[in-house]
Amino acid sequence: MTARSTRTPDALMRPEVLAQPAYQVADATGLIKLDAMENPHPWPGALEDAWLEALRDPQLNRYPDAQARDLAEQVRAAHGVPEAAGLMFGNGSDELIQILVTAIAGSGRPVMAPEPTFVMYGVLARALGVRFVGVPLNADFTLDLAAMREAMAEHNPAVVFLAYPNNPTGTLDDAATVEAVVDANPGVTVVDEAYAPFAAHSFLSRVGADDGLMVMRTVSKLGLAGARLGYLAGTPAWIDALDRLRLPYNINTLTQRSVAFALEHREALDAQARGVIDERDRLGERLAATTGVEQVFPSQANFILFRVREGHGHASFAALRDAGILIKDVGRAHPLLADCLRVTVGRPDENDAFLAALGQALST
């Protein structure tokens, strides 16, 4: 009989996967939730009724439209995806990152990203046995172009991910800097525009002609995080190739219909995004005026990264949680982030509660 020890995860899974904890999602029950860059506003009541009407007769006995054609039409019209570009959907942009890394896994070339950045690029590279090369940002969290150029020349990456604006910093780099990375990259650059609804610039209109550039987006931050939908736009050659790795029917019928409906009525979501931008600017000013807040980093996203007095990062996070407010403690995620906290822009009343509790936490 086979020895039991040969059947265990330890025996059959790669040690670097076993060493990596599962993605942790904090329990926000009963708390003001300012940790995950969600849109804090529900849909206006009348719109919700119309949406429920649009979901009538969902035909859940049938598989979804495998190509999500209605949804693709809505996305192209709503966000101006160039006609020449191919378009592919994922179950959140996380799935698209997974597909991209899977696609290049046999190339022997690494995945690269500036750091600190969105953790899933590294997490998924490690999960899929692909080397990940992180290139430190400048201390002000802008891209270090010289370091990126050097690292690309040395490591010959297959994919460079650039979160634009970046998470957790909120930085939107100069377009010329991003273009310089695309030009110097021997592989493909994926500009991850998860926070596009709140940012002043986008590369989406540029995709379709150059195999070296793809743009990834999500509807999560716009107000549809529960639907789980991301999309990737690139040359048809890239999208056709990546489509071979997409699971059949990866976008379920309810998501296809709900997001298509939401984009048809996007004025409501766009108005909410404009409100979030106004509120972000107010929150940033108030944070900068809070005693004990040392730095507030400029943000083009729906969150703000700030640094508190040395040694007070984790304690401030814990005091806020005790006061019923959940934000994100990123202080230990990267040396450049020491004592940094990230707060998602909430409703005005939620932001006021956060500011009051933070002021209290930092005064003790």
Q: Kindly list the residues in this chain that would bind ligand PLP in the complex (CB under 6 A).
A: 37, 92-94, 118, 163, 167, 192, 194, 218, 220, 230
Distance between CA 184 and CA 188 in Å, rounded? Answer: 10
212 CB-near residues (< 8 Å, 6+ apart): 182, 183, 185, 187, 188, 189
DSSP designation for 117: -
Closer residue to ligand PLP (CB): 103 or 361: 103
Q: How far is the CB of 118 from ligand PLP (least distance, A)?
A: 4
User: By Cβ distance, which residue is nearest to ligand PLP?
Assistant: 92
Distance between CA 302 and CA 198 in Å, rounded? Answer: 6
Closer residue to ligand PLP (CB): 118 or 317: 118
Q: How far is the CB of 167 from ligand PLP (least distance, A)?
A: 3
Q: How far is the CB of 305 from ligand PLP (least distance, A)?
A: 12
Closer residue to ligand PLP (CB): 116 or 284: 116
Q: How far is the CB of 36 from ligand PLP (least distance, A)?
A: 7
Evaluated on CA atoms 170, 265, 227, 42, the torsion sign reads: positive
Closer residue to ligand PLP (CB): 118 or 354: 118
Q: Give the Cβ contact number of residue 4 at 10 Å.
A: 8
Closer residue to ligand PLP (CB): 227 or 361: 227
Distance between CA 46 and CA 327 in Å, rounded? Answer: 31
Q: How far is the CB of 178 from ligand PLP (least distance, A)?
A: 14
Residue 60: what residue type? L
Asked whether 161 and 97 are in contact (CB, 8 A), the reply is yes
Q: How far is the CB of 114 from ligand PLP (least distance, A)?
A: 12
275-278 long-range Cβ contacts below 8 angstroms, 24+ apart? 275/41, 276/39, 276/40, 276/197, 276/198, 276/302, 276/345, 277/198, 277/302
Please state whether the peptide bond connecting residue 110 to the residue before it is cis, i.e. omega within 30 degrees of 0. no
Q: Longest C-alpha distance within the chain, in Å? A: 70
Closer residue to ligand PLP (CB): 39 or 167: 167
